[in-house]
Chain A
Amino acid sequence: MKRVQFERSTVPYFFVAPQIAIIAVFFLWPAGQAIYQSFLLEDAFGISSQFVWFRNYEDTILNYAWLQSAGFTVVFSSLVTFFSLAIALLLAVKANEVLHGSSSYKTMLMWAYAVAPPVAGLMGNLMFNPFIGDLYAAMNAMGWDFNQKLDAFDAGFVVILISVWKQVSVNFIFFLSGLQGIPKGVMEAATLDCRSPTKRFWTITFPLLAPTTFFLMVINITYAFFETFGIIDTTTRGAPGGATNTLVYKVYTDGFLGADLGGSSAQSVILMLMVLALTVFQFRFIERKVHY
């Protein structure tokens, strides 16, 4: 906060009012509703409902489909986070190294930030289309009996590939800016001490990038949880048999298409707790363990 401030009693409320009003109507009220509904059980026609304590939570957590979806979400988020970070880091290190053409490379590697996840999903869908998709044909030509509509592994492969593609550019931008923030003197001293570029990278550059990496990990996990909704909805839609259902996609299909309000709300609340845990982790653990 500022040392010098205005001392007015009503003026500041006038400035925060618009945001607080929108938050109250479109955030707090719906979130409260989600928590409230998660304790209710509606009858088949949605006419009456009854307070059932934690039964919706029990039903959710003990349900095979939810467990399958939770398992997929964990595997999916880990793979997407790992591969999109690894590819972006490699490209950022190389782009930081070149002397000629570095700005064209940067532009070419970052513009995909502007592609919407569902649009990326649609393009991927067309590339893997059984009629015209060359990737589909190429997979089968290599002897991989590829069919994302029937095979759970292949479907997972498609959504992970598209999700990684979509996320590389934003990671690239942050890694590059992190690399450019390392003082020149540090790198010059390191070059004198250590001749091997690979060793120099792992002992000097990578530890100096740790704050960026940890920050990006949180961003990427959040992305894999929530923003990949558009990719899944335009490609596999959770098929085959729920094998590519992320938790968020399941909230949508159960609550919106399946009209199971209580169950969907309980899933929402569980997701909120997960975001809360991630945020606490980010602020407590990461900020302390990583030295700037």
Chain B
Amino acid sequence: MNNSFWRKLSTHGILILGTIFMSAPVWVAFMSSTHAADTLFREGLQYWFGGHFFETYNEVLFVEGGVMKKVTALEMLGNSMILGLGFAIGKVVISMSAAYAIVYFRFRLATPLFWVIFLTLLLPLEVRIVPSYEVVAGLGLLNTHTGLIVPLIASATGTFFFRQYFKSVPEELLEAARLDNAGPMRFLIDVLVPLSKTMIAAIMIIMFVVGWNQYLWPLIMTTEENSYTIVIGIKQIYQVLSEGGELPQFQKAFALTILAVLPPVLVVLVFQSWFVKGLVESEK
């Protein structure tokens, strides 16, 4: 056997170990969710399918659980979907329009306003959590979709992304549009948006995942179970499951975990190339 054979073998060995490291937790969670509660309690985690898949998933999706027994996983998935989509669409619309103004117009406050937008990068939600909560509570927006989504969409990342992209669009397009007497709105809708289609799709995918995975903000501003997203809900339910005096329902905790992970993972897998492009481009 020669040197290059061993090298190939070690390369594949490292990649397989990496794959196992990244996938094992989710695989074990999925397998364990298909077993009965007492099997898990007696034998520990499971590494292969059990016979309780339909039973467990049917129960968490459609039977009401939670601390107050008022919410099903299906409702929580619905809330997460609204948050993910609302966040993605809102972010794209708002940041695209701000970037359009900054790149394509000459106006007096352009630079100061750009710095105000930039400032948001310095103020992650985590450091101004209490006053943000007070603002939203003062506006009466607790437990609403508006209060959940709007404070999250203002940050600058999307604006920078579109600003970079618009700057790379050839100048001639605007010159041509002006010769045709197209106004700013026409140019945006008929030229710039169609041109940015892939970029918009890529950023939407990333923002959907980011929105779906929000934790701290939904945690403090949703106090009613009906408004829980799945990411928040599984935590609450998990606490109940593991604190109750009866046999802990670990299989349900695992099933909820899988349900919380599945939609964003599917989005990333299905749109993989767009997702990678958007991620790498947006961080430049």
List residues of A whose CB falls within 8 A of some B CB: 1-9, 11-16, 18-20, 22-23, 25-31, 33-34, 37, 87, 90-91, 94-95, 97-98, 101, 105, 107-120, 122-127, 129, 131-134, 137, 165, 168-170, 173-174, 177, 197, 215, 219, 222, 226, 229-230, 233-234, 248, 251-252, 255-256, 261, 264-265, 268-269, 271-272, 275-276, 279
Contact = CB atoms under 8 A, between A and B. Distances in A.
B216 A230 contact: yes
A26 B151 contact: yes
A134 B135 contact: no
**10 closest residue pairs by CB, A with B:** A116-B213, A30-B131, A15-B101, A12-B105, A33-B131, A114-B264, A22-B154, A26-B151, A12-B101, A19-B98
B26 A115 contact: yes
B51 interface: no
17 contacts: A6-B105, A16-B98, A19-B98, A23-B117, A34-B130, A107-B272, A114-B213, A123-B257, A133-B45, A134-B44, A165-B22, A168-B21, A233-B235, A248-B127, A251-B129, A255-B130, A275-B124
Given A16-B97, A27-B154, A118 B215 contact: yes
A132 B260 contact: no
B238 A122 contact: yes
A98 B127 contact: no
B63 interface: no
B214 to A, nearest CB: 8
Interface of B: 7-8, 11-12, 14-15, 18-19, 21-23, 25-26, 28-29, 32, 40-41, 44-45, 93-95, 97-98, 100-107, 109-110, 113, 116-117, 119-124, 126-136, 150-151, 153-154, 159, 167, 171, 174-175, 178, 184, 209, 212-213, 215-216, 219-220, 231, 234-235, 238, 242, 248, 250, 253-254, 257, 260-261, 264-265, 267-269, 272, 276, 279-280, 283
The dominant DSSP class at the A interface is helix
A174 B45 contact: no
A255 B131 CA distance: 10
Given A5-B105, A15-B98, A222-B124, 12 more contacts: A5-B174, A12-B110, A20-B116, A29-B131, A30-B131, A33-B134, A110-B272, A122-B234, A174-B280, A255-B129, A256-B129, A256-B133
A124 B216 CA distance: 19
Contacts of A115: 26, 213, 261, 264-265
A15 B117 CA distance: 13
A108 B110 CA distance: 44
Nearest to A97: B11
B253 A34 contact: no
A109 B128 contact: no
Nearest to A88: B18
Contacts of A118: 215, 231, 235
B127 A251 contact: yes
Contacts of A234: 235
Given A20-B116, A94-B15, A271-B127, A127 B171 contact: no
B63 to A, nearest CB: 21
A70 to B, nearest CB: 15
Contact of B25 (A26, A124, A222): A124
A169 B134 CA distance: 36
- Which of A6, A125, A256 is most buried by chain B, counting CB atoms within 10 A of its CB? A6
A108 B154 contact: no
B253 A122 contact: yes
Nearest to B25: A123
B53 to A, nearest CB: 18
Given A127-B28, A132-B41, A133-B45, A109 B22 contact: yes
Given A116-B260, A126-B250, A251 B15 contact: no
A255 B44 CA distance: 38
Given A87-B18, A119-B261, A15 B97 contact: yes
Contacts of A90: 14, 18
B150 A26 contact: yes
A11 B100 CA distance: 11
A107 B269 contact: yes
Nearest to B130: A255
B130 A18 contact: no
B254 A173 contact: no
A30 B124 CA distance: 11
Contact of B167 (A2, A27, A33, A108): A2
A97 B10 CA distance: 11
B193 to A, nearest CB: 13
A117 B21 CA distance: 16
Contacts of B127: 34, 248, 251, 268-269, 271-272, 275
